[in-house]
Structure 1
Amino acid sequence: MNLQESDPSTVWQVLSDAHTTNSMILGALSLVAYDHLITLEDEVELMWSSRICTTNVVYLWNRYFTLISLSYDASVMLSPFKSNAVCIRFFQGEAFTSTMILATVDFILVLRVWVLYGKKRMLLYLLVPMIGLEIMTMGLVSHYTIASVKDYWDLPWPLVGCYPHGNVPRYFTFYSVPVLVVSMTMFIMTVYKCGKTLLTHGRAQMPIYTMFLRDGVFWFVAIFVTFIPEIIIWARARESLAEVMIAPGLAVTSIIGSRVLLNIKGLKLAKALPTTTAGTALGPAVELDTIDYPSRYWGTVGTTEGTTTTFADFSDA
């Protein structure tokens, strides 16, 4: 759609939306790059200095695939408009990469809950298909949405990017719903398990459960704050704003996923993290370790004046 053929007020709105969207994309890419820098030392220590295992592979995939995907998105959205066909191919690629990133982060969330519940195999059989259903739903919604969008604004230089011209179907709103459903389910399971354990034994004796609960609350709040505005925009706002929250949403979820994996991987360094109990070790109440190995109970290492001091026994990564 040529800007010269449109109403001046509409043209001004599209230009404003384009500026806002491009700023959000650059901000999201900068946020991911900054997080890479400030966590690089932990990444090298926990992920690069150990043998390859599930945690490492998932972390590195999430970390660097997100960075590459956002870099590609920024390169296209900051390039001059070429044709409708180019924009369609771009959105097809973006839909695929976005779905993979969101599914990866939700897979991390599922693994985290699986660890929290003692790595019960039956639980994994129930949770993993949830991720499969999420991918299928998001894939179908994005496919039919992109297939229905045929016309994009022909922005003249120096204006850049691909912006649909008034024809994005409102059912695209359902693209983010599966992410919220999975996040809500995992949040409820985390609060139940951690809350029950902390009420029984107290925060002072359960630092790892406290960490899991803290990360779970932060995760859910971040997802809620990011994706609710996205759903509202897709349901009610102008089509030229369809891209405005996609990059920030991917950046936030990817960063949270990476931080959670670093925390889980860091549990193997908790051999120096003591907890004291009156009489005996807590046994199954603190049965936690990394994603990659069978859980081990906290082992008793010494007794001092009737108080047993225990340390987390984690497998080497």
Structure 2
Amino acid sequence: MNDRTVSNSIAALPPSALMSQGSTASDYYIHLVEGSLIPLHVVLVGLTWIIHDYLVTLEDEIRYIWSQRLTLSKAMFLWIRYYSIALLMFDTAQIHSFSKPGVTSDHLCVAMDTIIRCVGAISLWSVEIVMALRVYALYGCSKRIAIINALLFAGSIAGFMYILVYNHSRRADVIAKAIHLPLPGCPTVHSGIEWAQWVPATIYEGILFGFAAFKTFQSAQEGLRKVPGLTIYSLLLRDNLIYFFSIACLLVFNNLMVVNLTHIPWFSYGPFHAAVGILTTRMLLNLRKATTIDVYTGQGQDISLRIVSGTTSGTTRITGLSPMAFGLGQAFGESNTFIGGDGDSEIHFSPARDDHRKGASSPPWPIPSVAT
């Protein structure tokens, strides 16, 4: 395609598609090319990041996750973990395959634009389910909180789907002229209410953060922070604040990339997908690692205990306070057995009750005593 054809094609674009009133056809074409090249490089950063994090945390996953019986909490972790990696591989393959000449077309770009948003939404919704369950556990498995969160979650999905259908019906007109230009991939042109695509999810994420922040403030007033050591409950509060806020910031940044007034280039969804997956798996692993206890039996040996669901024969069994494994233990009513090394030792916790569910501050992690 020669320069004259490019100029004629760009001249047919609507004025609203131009960068500014003073932009020339060549400037706009360069802008489109640069916009298509940025995702080609940035998506590789996202893929490298999530694979690196996977290798760094694989040892923890083997130790704290694989040893469990298959439960909903374990299934959610594995789903988010490996779906995020698969999603980054899909993003990379899609962006780089579309950069080849002659691959893209009007219908393919419109369809892929919708598909990318849907597969990304599945990842985000999975994470939000885990977050909602952690909030549910924080509030003592309150049915009112569960109903409110379920309704808000359904509303955010409905809002997402409405905006998705609206943008899909108009996407073909938005890229109709630019699609015929020799670009490395689909045109990175945004218009209409595309900026609002992730607003429902952002609002819902903000509400979840508000629930966690309120409970943290309430617990601080009750003197939770004065309890010696870091309790499982206080760790759950801390992680909820940090990770909920981080994901909310990612969603806000995602919205800002689409708004032309910010002049933030489009990086693709690759870094966003990687960050959401890494933050969530780190959050779940962090709590799981905190529930591992090293016990000295008095017989010259240490027993490293880790929490799994169900029972296991030929191992040390521990009864007592059932922790919020992943922050989901209370939500699913899972019974937990603590597994140690070989031996006939029986270890009991004291106290064997959860005072926090009655409204009191969360007690420190109970110290086990070993009876041989």
Same fold (TM over 0.5): yes
Secondary structure in 2 aligned to 1:78? helix
**2:148 is equivalent to residue 126 of structure 1:** yes
Q: How many residues align?
A: 289
CA shift for structure 1 position 211: 2.0
Q: Output the CA distance in 2 between the equivalents of 1:22 and 1:237.
A: 23
CA shift for structure 1 position 288: 4.9
| Amino acid in structure 1 at the alignment position of 2:324 | D
1:122-149: CA deviation from partner (whole Å, max 9, x where unpaired)? 3222212322222221122122212211
1:79-114: CA deviation from partner (whole Å, max 9, x where unpaired)? 224312222222222121011111111111111111
Q: Output the CA distance in 2 between the equivalents of 1:116 and 1:216.
A: 10
Contact 1:62 1:101 in 2 (8 A): yes
CA shift for structure 1 position 309: 7.8
Q: Which residue of 2 aligns with 1:55?
A: 73
- Match among 224, 242, 255 for residue 278 of structure 2: 255
**2:55 is equivalent to residue 31 of structure 1:** no
1:211-226 equivalences in 2 (<5 Å): 211-226=235-250
Q: 1:85 to 1:211 in 2, by over 3 A?
A: same
CA shift for structure 1 position 255: 1.5
Gaps of 5+ in 1: 274-285, 302-307
Secondary structure in 1 aligned to 2:47? helix
Q: Output the CA distance in 1 between the equivalents of 2:71 and 2:334.
A: 15
Contact 1:170 1:234 in 2 (8 A): no
**2:366 is equivalent to residue 311 of structure 1:** yes
1:110-149 equivalences in 2 (<5 Å): 110-149=132-171
Relative to the length of structure 1, the TM-score reads 0.79
**2:335 is equivalent to residue 300 of structure 1:** no
Q: Output the CA distance in 1 between the equivalents of 2:364 and 2:43.
A: 50
CA shift for structure 1 position 55: 1.0
- Match among 257, 264, 272 for residue 233 of structure 1: 257
RMSD over aligned CA atoms reads: 3.1
1:144-166: CA deviation from partner (whole Å, max 9, x where unpaired)? 2122111253464xx632225x4
Contact 2:135 2:208 in 1 (8 A): yes
Q: Output the CA distance in 1 between the equivalents of 2:74 and 2:365.
A: 28
Q: 1:154 to 1:194 in 2, by over 3 A?
A: same
Q: Output the CA distance in 2 between the equivalents of 1:138 and 1:122.
A: 24
Q: Output the CA distance in 2 between the equivalents of 1:155 and 1:31.
A: 32
Contact 1:17 1:240 in 2 (8 A): no
1:7-156 equivalences in 2 (<5 Å): 7-79=25-97, 80=100, 81-150=103-172, 151=176, 152-154=178-180, 156=182
| Amino acid in structure 1 at the alignment position of 2:113 | F
CA shift for structure 1 position 258: 1.4
Identity of aligned pairs, percent? 19
Q: Output the CA distance in 1 between the equivalents of 2:6 and 2:60.
A: 49
CA shift for structure 1 position 42: 1.4
**2:315 is equivalent to residue 289 of structure 1:** no
Q: Output the CA distance in 2 between the equivalents of 1:146 and 1:312.
A: 57
Q: Output the CA distance in 1 between the equivalents of 2:43 and 2:287.
A: 29
Contact 2:49 2:274 in 1 (8 A): yes
| Amino acid in structure 2 at the alignment position of 1:249 | F
Q: 1:122 to 1:224 in 2, by over 3 A?
A: closer
| Amino acid in structure 2 at the alignment position of 1:43 | E
Q: Which residue of 1 aligns with 2:224?
A: 201
Contact 2:42 2:270 in 1 (8 A): yes
1:7-32: CA deviation from partner (whole Å, max 9, x where unpaired)? 21111111211222222222122221
Contact 2:36 2:185 in 1 (8 A): yes
Contact 2:206 2:248 in 1 (8 A): no
Q: Which residue of 1 aligns with 2:360?
A: none
CA shift for structure 1 position 224: 4.0
Gaps of 5+ in 2: 11-24, 296-303, 305-320, 336-348, 353-362
Name the structure with the higher helix share: 1
| Amino acid in structure 1 at the alignment position of 2:288 | K
1:248-305: CA deviation from partner (whole Å, max 9, x where unpaired)? 22221221111222234345425869xxxxxxxxxxxx98512145389x7338xxxx
